[in-house]
Amino acid sequence: MNTLEIHTTQHRQGLMSNQRLHLALDYADKFSWAVFPLQPNTKLPATRHGFKDATTDPTRIHSWWGERPEFNIGIATGRISGFFAVDVDHRNGGDNMLLDLMQKYGQFPSTVETITGNGSHYLFRYPDHASIPSCKLAAGIDIKSDGGYIVAPGSIHPNGHQYEFEGSSDPFDGIAIVDAPAWLLERVIRTSQPLAGHSMAAPRNQYVDPDRVEELQAALAHIPADEYDLWIRIGLALFALDNDDTGFRLWDEWSQTSSKYDAREMGKKWRSFTQRREINPETVFYEAQQLGWMNTSVPQAPPVESLQIAPVKANSPQVIPDILLSPPGIVGGIATFITQSAFRPQPVFAINGALSLCAAVLARKVRCGRVRTNLYLCSLGGTGSGKEHARQVIKQIMADTGRESQLGGENIASGQAILTRTAETPNVLYQIDEFGDFLHAAQNPNAGGHKAEIVTNLMRLYGNTNGIFKGTDYASSLRESKALEYPCLNLHATTTPETFYASLGSRDLANGFLNRMLVCETPTPLPKKNRKANLGRTPENIIQWIRSIDALTGQGNLQGLNPAEPFEIMHDTASDQVMDAFEQWTEEQVERHIGTGVDALWNRAAEHAEKIALILAMGDNAARIEQQHAEWAVTFVRYWTQYLADAVSQHVADSPTQALEQEIRRLVGQRGAQGMTARELTQYSRKFKQAPPAMREAALKWLSNSSREIQLAEIPSLSGRGKKRLAYVLLEEEAC
């Protein structure tokens, strides 16, 4: 929200909220505490996955509080932030209980302490060689640790009081979080143990939608907590939430309404529970309804005719514009050779292959201003769709023109391996199949730093074609860092759509990796076979063109002419106008999509078009970049960037829950006004069918109630007769 747009009545809150952004950043930066947003003036998470979204990443923190500066601040407790909290609730006698404990076992050492709305939090360092679960220590005293969170100072309590650090224990004044006293650790670990005969289970932290929590609280308010059998039944129902922190808290708060409440019995009984198929959270609603409760939060389904339904979008590109299949000059000639010699012709793959080959041939030899011919191109197609043919043709053409050594390996072992190879061959062309699996392996947290550096070095090399790139320094003098002069690495990748999108997360949008790539997908999963296909010899005009590029140096070697001063080709007036108009249009797209991640894709679109226009002009033996070269390049880049932007919003996810939401959004959207029921989602989506019921419900509730992207609607049968069906429909963006 822009400050100028804040209404006068919100001014004070806005000033305070701006402080929360800085506080959240400071918590993450100064203390390495993982933070996440809470709903304004509440303890309820504002993100889909609650404390599981907690991070120290300043970019994500800016995106949260930059968009909603009034959010409270949550800090995930436990090993992730390096501390656990003793939560003392004065309302339930926690202060007196703590005094009793300290008189018996010893005082707490001086540590960081926060003042909450109804008590205090004492923060202690998370031990290195023990696990501290969130649990109940005593009546009115909880332990907030793994799988839990606290509300941070600077936030506002529901009662209107502000959370703050106790005056003499503020970490911003240099007060450190200290080790917990031995007696406390001993008691916490003992208290959190199961009863004899039961094994210690892993923490149960299944995400529970905040709306679901509110519904359960409303239902529990209508159920008396005095009858033992019902007390146990409700406990088992809440245990089935698969979240010990939320489930136990709900059960404990409800149990306190009874005069029979015994805090010691609560934890003991909870740890004795096991899952029972016949009892689940719906049991709470059933028992409340038997006592006259009505769930007023369930909305009535409106008729589908009254809703604005989103237009149906295709799953993959259906019709490629003719102009994109006919690039001018040698690029078109190479693409034709690849297509006509393929057993399963794929013009989209052929064009990517032709562009990759020409970019590699021209690498370090030509430029337009600061733009050179390094491209990262990726072709998507299913297994057996013919992805490998373009790579084979490129290998043959490279061999026929003496350029075998310019081809990099078909796999990359480490980030340093890229730098070593690029130092030897600055215009290396990597052709990598199963690129999605390659990315997944490179970005796996357990893969090690040498793998993680692969993506980092690809990104850095992309933007360092106009100077000297210095690699990693090493402690050992035996591993000398190499300087890469004007590197111009090209990447020609192929993979399936499923593995490609599964390997990506929002980090790849935020860190700029994805916007360095142009990704194209075939509209034809299995093209008709060309039984007369024969690779044969490389056409002479292709060989002659490559040799003419070699002749620019008078040497024909792989180092090119002087890389600092390559052959420069400029735009003519008409092509300049085309590129200026496209750059202005992409800037508008960036503004329109700011903060969504899609803005990053459009940020480099003009640069991609400039590179491709340069390649086309050189492939046409033109003295300047002409209008036809610029127009084709702009059309190509605009089409495929828009495709990738749409695909990212449908497929790229950071968690199983988010992936499920995207799957629901995609499938429901494909059905248009006919919609899709939850049962049909189970039939048509393996991901939905295999998801835990709680995750399915959370995803549907988020899309319906929070993001308001889908709506349960009343839909007539196809015949117009009989009972109407209730199904989810995807709402048009403006209607959401």
Domain ranges across the chain: 3-191, 210-290, 345-529+537-563, 569-652, 656-735
Q: Given pLDDT bands bounded at 50, 70 and 90, which one contains residue 33?
A: very high
What is the strand order of the sheet 517-521 is part of?
Answer: 429-432, 490-495, 376-380, 517-521
Which residues does 463 contact at the CB level (< 8 Å), separation at least 6?
none
Give the H or E element holding residue 283. Answer: helix 282-290
Residue 374: helix, strand or coil by DSSP? coil
Write down the pLDDT at residue 547.
94
Write down the pLDDT at residue 561.
59
Residue type, 473: D
Residue 270: helix, strand or coil by DSSP? helix
Q: How far is CA 36 from CA 52, 64, 156, in A?
A: 9, 8, 15
Q: Contact 220/255 with Cβ under 8 angstroms? A: no
pLDDT tens figures, 239-290: 888 766 788 889 989 999 998 888 878 888 888 888 775 677 878 887 887 7
Write down the pLDDT at residue 395.
96
Query: Which CATH class, in words, describes the domain spanning 345-529+537-563?
Result: alpha beta
Produce one character per residue of 205-241: b if its CB has 16 or more CB atoms within 10 Å, e if not: bbbbbbbbbebbebbbeebebeeeeebebbbbbbbbb
Write down the pLDDT at residue 316.
55
pLDDT tens figures, 557-610: 334 457 888 889 999 999 999 999 999 999 999 888 776 778 889 999 999 999
Distance CA 264, CA 137 (A): 9
Distance CA 179, CA 170 (A): 16
Q: Contact 296/214 with Cβ under 8 angstroms? A: no
pLDDT tens figures, 606-644: 999 999 999 999 999 999 999 999 999 999 999 999 999
Q: Given pLDDT bands bounded at 50, 70 and 90, which one contains residue 448?
A: low
Answer whether 0.85 is exceeded by the pTM: no
- How many angstroms separate the first and last alpha carbons of the chain? 19
